[in-house]
Amino acid sequence: MMACTNGMMSLMQSFDMVFEDEKIRGFLQTRIVALLLTFLLIIVLFLAVLLLIVGDAAMALISDWHIVQDDWIIYSLNITRYLTSFGAMMLALSIIYRFAPSHGKRYTFINSGSMVASILILAATYGFSFYLSKFSSYNKLYGSIGTMIALMIWYYLLAFLIILGFEINASIDRARRLARSKTA
């Protein structure tokens, strides 16, 4: 369990580095927050992968087997699964951006960083799965370890996009504070 939370603790440290804050949480409190946020992210990523990747196969089966005859129903189901993935991802990132930094800054719950990061994470997940299914030869080149390599690349990409979303929030916050100090 300690190994699972190390990634989230690294994200929490990078969030704290943005504001150059000292750690105000103790070790146990930091580990508990990281554990809860890790479980949240695991659940949301599982939902997103299930809806985006497995959903494509399910929609193809529904269409091929003529379970649903109307194209507009399949189209609306596709839109619904993308919107559900987006909403769940944005909710999870908003929670992470609120509770992960130890400085206590509170952004609005629906913020620009979580929206941008959610869109980019969903696009990256879909694009990466498309790349792996169509163009990649990890299994031919690396064997069974190729799956682990692909998974680690995906995790790295997700961490980058989560930090990018937080940086967007921090930049907006700095710009607002600078504008307030110039008018005051």
Q: Are residues 158 and 114 in contact, defined by beta-carbon separation less than 8 angstroms?
A: no
3-state secondary structure of 23: coil
Is the distance from CB of 154 to CB of 128 less than 8 angstroms? yes
Long-range contacts of 14-17 (CB under 8 A, 24+ apart): 14/163, 14/166, 15/97, 15/100, 15/101, 15/163, 15/166, 16/101, 16/102, 16/103
pLDDT at 119: 93
List Cα–Cα distances, 46 to 25, 42, 53, 136, in angstroms.
29, 6, 10, 22
Q: pLDDT digits over 65-81, tens only?
A: 878 778 788 888 888 98
Is the model more confident about 56 or about 84? 84
Which of 52-61, 71-80, 158-167 tops mean pLDDT? 158-167
Can you give the pLDDT at residue 184? 66
Q: What is the pLDDT of residues 80-126, one digit of tens each?
A: 988 988 999 999 999 999 888 887 666 788 899 999 999 999 899 88
68 and 137 Cβ atoms separated by less than 8 Å: no
For the chain, what are the domain ranges? 2-183
The percent of residues above 70 in pLDDT, for the chain, comes to 95
